[in-house]
Amino acid sequence: MLKNKGKNLISKVILCAAICAQVVVPQTVFGATKKAVEKAGEAFVAALEEEADTEVIAGTENEVKNEKKDAEENKNTAGTENKNGEASDMENTSDPSESDRDETVMSEEELRQQIVDFALQFEGNPYVYGGTSLTNGADCSGFVMSVFAQFGYSLPRVAADQYYQSVKKNVADLEPGDLVFYGSGISHVALYIGNGQIIHASTSASGIKISNYDYETPAGVGTYIEADGFYSE
């Protein structure tokens, strides 16, 4: 009986051990497995985060490189445009001195002829003592003074001063644009127009007219064109 009880007890112990083995052991295994899974999951997540960080860093570096590249291209483009603009400005910029020379410089012969042609427009206009108007009336020195003023020359007001301040010439060397003076005290002046003729504000009766240069013996000949140069203003 005792032997059977012992056998039963052993059987119960074995059964209990089996049951415990089936209950306790699986829980232990499950706990270990859970920890392993959690550890693996954490490693997996860490790997994902590290990969994501790597991609972000790579993306940032690429963006920086692209921005630097764009900035360099913009700089080069701006430099090219600036150079082109400067070149364009240089091409469009003319030399003022060259422009002025084109407009103001002429040969002595051309200047002399222009002065003569201008003076001839006023033939027939009235003589007015003390006057300087080419249209409303001028005396001899006023007429000459106003004609030359159109070409940038400042002549004295009266005939005697015009003579004394001019460059003296011989009658044989007369050229269009020269001044011919008359009278013992230089009381009259005329503009030589070529071909032995002058234009002058003669008298109140005849006005501004053309005459032969030797209608009266010249007292002297002078010029302002050679004295002042060949530049009109």
Task: Give the residue numbers annotated as catalytic, written as ranges.
Answer: 140, 188, 200
Q: Give me 131's structure tokens.
A: 């006057």
Q: What angle do CA 183, 186, 189 make, to 5 degrees?
A: 90
**Contact call for residues 201 and 127 (beta carbons, < 8 A):** yes
Instruction: Please state, in angstroms and rounded to a whole number, the distance separating the CA atoms of residues 160 and 156.
Output: 9
Alpha-carbon span 179 to 220, nearest angstrom: 9
CA 229/CA 190 separation, integer angstroms: 21
DSSP assignment string, 127-151:
B-TT-EETTTEE-HHHHHHHHHHTT
